[in-house]
Chain A
Amino acid sequence: MARRVKLKGILISALLAVLTLTFLYPMYFMLINSLKTRSEYFVNQFNLPSGQLQLSNYATMISQFRILNLFKNSFIVSSLTVVGLLIVGTFASFVFAKYRFRGRTAIYLAVIATMFIPSQVTIIPLYVLFSRIGLVSTYWSVVLSYLALFLPEAILLMTANFRGIIDELLEAAEIDGCNYFQKVWNVVLPMGRAAIFLSIIFYFIMAWNDLFTPMIFLQSMEKRTVMVALAALMGRYTGAPTLQFAGLLLSAVPALVVYILFQRHIIRGLSVGAIK
C-alpha cells in the first residue's frame, strides 16, 4: 500500500515535470539561439552556442531598436492605465459593495455585462473619435481605451473583495469622524489590499502584453509600445532569426519579472476570483 502511494507520487511528479519542461523549453530555445550568429543558428538550432557568446543581437536591440525607449512607452501606458483603474475602480467598487441604493443591482450588472465586449467591436468609431479630437498617437488614446475595457472586470474583482470588509470597521471610522474619502483611505484601501494589489499586477501585465489597441492608435514611431514594435520587427527581419529571438525574449522579460516577484498573489487571486 505504502509503495503504491509512493509510486503514484513519483508518477505525478514526472508528469508535472514533463509539462513544466514544455513550458520552459521555448524560453531556453530563444535564449540559446539569441546568443548565436546567424550561420551558427542555421547549422544547429538545438545545441548550446559554441565558442563565443554573441551579445551583438542584444546590443542591436538596444542601440538600433531602442528597446529601452519602447519599454518606457509601454511602462507609461501600463502605469497610467493601472493608476486610472485604481482611482476610478476603488470608489465605484466601494459603493457597489457597501451602499444600498435604488437600482444598485441593475447598474452593477449593466457595468459588468460590458466585460466581454472585445475592443475590435469599438475600435473603428473610437479611432475616428480620437483622430477628430487629436488623440491618435498619444498615450491617452490607448490608456482611455484600456480603462473602458478593463474597468468592468476590475470592479467585479474589487467589489467581491470589498464586500468582505467588516461593517463595524466602517461604522467605527464614521463615529471617529471620518468623511467619505477618509473612510476609503483608512479602511477600504488597507482592508481591500489583496484585490487592489492583484489588480495592479494583473492589469499592468495585460496592458504591457496587448498588441491590438496600441497598434491601431499609436502610429508615431516615437510612441509605439514594445509589442507593436516587436510585431514590426518580426515581420521585417525574417532573415535575422537570432536577432528576432533576442527581441522576443527581451520583450517578455519585464512581465516575467513581475510574475516571478508576485506569483503567489496572482495565483491566489486567480483561484478565488475568476479573471480571464
Chain B
Amino acid sequence: MKKRKNFLAILLSLLPVFAILAVFRVYPIVTSLLKSFTNWDGLYRSDWVGLQNYVNFVRSGQFWMVLRNTLILLINVPLQVFIGLVVALLLYEKVKGWQFYRAMVYTPQIISAVIIGFLFKIFFGFNGPFNLVLKAVGLGSLAIEWFGNSYTALGVIVFSVVWFSIGWQAIVILGGMSAIPSSVFEAAIIDGANYWQRAFKIVVPMLVRVIEFAVIASGVWTLTQLFPFLFAMTRGGPGYETSTLDYMIYLKSFGLGFGRDYGTATAIAVLLLVLVLALTLIEMQVANRADDWS
C-alpha cells in the first residue's frame, strides 16, 4: 500500500517536468533535426533536400567565417578564468572591506547583457569616451572606428565579455578556495612559503576541479549566450563577419533582410546542439560529475 502511494507521489511530482521538457525542449529539438533536411519556410514548403543545407552552409564559406569568429571569441575564456582567479586570490586575503569588493565585482552579472552590450557600443563608438581619452593622452592615431572592421569589433566584444564575467569566475573560484582547509596554509607559512609561492604552488593546484568546470562552463556559455552582446554591438555584421552559430540561427530565421531560411537555420541549430552536448558530456565525464550529481 505504502509502495503504491509512493509510486503515485513520485509519478505526479515528475510528470510536470517530463511534460514541460517533452513539449518545449524535446519536441522542438526533434523537429529541428528533421527539418534540417528540408527547405522548410515555417509554413507549407517542407521538401526533403537531404544534406543540402549542411553542405551549402559549409561550402558557402559562412561556416568558416563563423568558425573564425568563434575561435577569436573563445579567447575570452582563458582571460576571464585567469583574471577571475587573480581576483579570487585577492579576495581570499580578506582585507578590510573584502565583502564589499566581492559584492561589487559581481554587479555586471546582475545588469542585463543587453545593457552592457549597448554601453560598450557607446564607449567604443567613434566619438565615444574611449577614443576621447586616447586623443587626450596623445594617442589620437589609435582612435579608430572600432566597429568598422571585424577584428577590432570582435576584440571589443571579447573585452566586454571578460569584463562582464570576471565576477562570476571570482565568486565560483573563491567558493572552491574556501574548501581548502586552513591547516594547509598554516603548514605553508611555517615552511616559509611567500605569497606567490603559496598562491600558485598550493592554492591553484588544489583548484584544478573548479578551474576545469569554470573553463568548460564559460566555453559553453561563449558558444550559446553571446546573442545580446552581438545584437547590441554589431548585429553579427557587417554581413556575417561577427556572427557566431547561435547568432546565425537568428539571422537566418528572424533577422530582417536575411530571408526566412528555416531549413538552414535548423541545420545550424543541429550543429550547435551537437557541439554543446559534446562539451556537456566531456564536462560530466572528465570531472566525474555524473558521480557528484546523482
Taking Cβ atoms with an 8 Å cutoff, the residues of A that contact B are 8-9, 12-13, 15-17, 19-20, 22-24, 26, 29-30, 42, 45-46, 87-89, 91-92, 94-95, 99, 101, 104-105, 107-109, 111-118, 120-129, 144-145, 147-148, 151-152, 155-156, 180, 205, 208-212, 216, 227, 230-231, 234, 241, 244, 248, 251-252, 255-256, 258-259, 263, 266-267, 270-272, 274, 276
Given A16-B95, A117-B25, A209-B114, A99 contacting B10 (CB threshold 8 A): yes
Given contacts A9-B93, A95-B13, A234-B232, contact A113 B115 (CB under 8 A): no
Q: Is the interface of B mostly helix, strand, loop or mixed?
A: helix
Write the nearest CB–CB distance from A273 to chain B, whole angstroms: 9
Residues of A within 8 A of B151 (CB): none
- Chain A nearest Cβ from B77, distance in angstroms: 13
Shortest distance between the CB of B122 and any CB in chain A (Å): 7
* Interface-centre pick from A9, A116, A121, A180 (highest chain B CB count, 10 A): A121
Bitwise, B53-78 to A at CB < 8 A (1) or not (0) is 00000000000000000000000000
Chain A residues whose C-beta falls within 8 Å of the C-beta of B28 in the assembled complex? 121-126, 129
Would you call the interface of chain A mostly helix, strand, loop, or mixed? helix
Other 10 A-B pairs with CB < 8 A, given A20-B105, A23-B107: A15-B90, A20-B104, A89-B17, A108-B293, A116-B224, A116-B279, A128-B42, A263-B103, A263-B106, A271-B178
Query: Is A248 within 8 A of B115, CB to CB?
Result: yes
Residues of chain A with a CB closer than 8 A to B150's CB: none
| Minimum CB distance partner of A130 in chain B | B24
Our pick among A95, A109, A124 for the contact of B42 (Cβ within 8 Å) is: A124
23 cross-chain CB contacts under 8 A: A13-B96, A16-B98, A22-B163, A24-B104, A46-B132, A92-B16, A109-B290, A111-B21, A113-B277, A117-B25, A120-B249, A122-B269, A123-B28, A124-B266, A128-B31, A208-B112, A209-B111, A209-B114, A211-B227, A211-B228, A231-B232, A248-B118, A259-B107
B27 at interface by CB-CB < 8 Å: yes
| Cα A156 to Cα B17 with chains together (Å) | 13
Contact A271 B118 (CB under 8 A): no
Tell me the smallest distance from the CB of B161 to a CB of chain A, in Å: 13
Q: Which residue of A lies closest to B34 (CB)?
A: A125
Residues B276 and A230 in contact, CB atoms below 8 Å apart: no
B240 within 8 A of A: no
Would B111 and A255 count as touching, CB distance under 8 A? yes
- Known A120-B224, A248-B119, A252-B115; judge A23-B108 contact (CB<8 A): yes
User: Beyond A231-B232, A244-B118, is A251–B112 a contact (Cβ under 8 Å)?
Assistant: yes
Q: Could you tell me if B293 and A126 are in contact, using CB atoms closer than 8 angstroms?
A: no
Task: Find residues 210-269 in chain B having any chain A CB closer than 8 Å to their own CB.
Answer: 213, 217-218, 220-221, 223-225, 227-228, 231-232, 246, 249-250, 253-254, 262, 265-266, 269
Which one of A9, A95, A147 lies within 8 Å of B24 (CB-CB)? Answer: A147
B residues adjacent to A (C-beta < 8 A): 5-7, 9-10, 12-14, 16-17, 20-21, 23-25, 27-29, 31-32, 35, 42, 87, 90-91, 93, 95-98, 100-108, 110-115, 118-119, 122-123, 127, 129, 132, 163, 166-168, 171-172, 174-175, 178, 195, 213, 217-218, 220-221, 223-225, 227-228, 231-232, 246, 249-250, 253-254, 262, 265-266, 269-270, 272-273, 276-277, 279-280, 284, 290, 293-294
Structural contact, A117 and B110, CB atoms closer than 8 A = no
Inter-chain contact A155/B232, CB cutoff 8 Å: no
Q: Which residues of A contact B104 (CB under 8 A)?
A: 19-20, 23-24
Min CB gap B270→A, angstroms: 8
Q: Are B107 and A276 in contact (CB under 8 A)?
A: no
Q: A251-B115, A271-B171 are in contact. Are A231 and B21 (CB under 8 A)?
A: no
Is the beta-carbon distance between B14 and A124 smaller than 8 angstroms? Answer: no
A216 to B123, CA, bound (A): 28
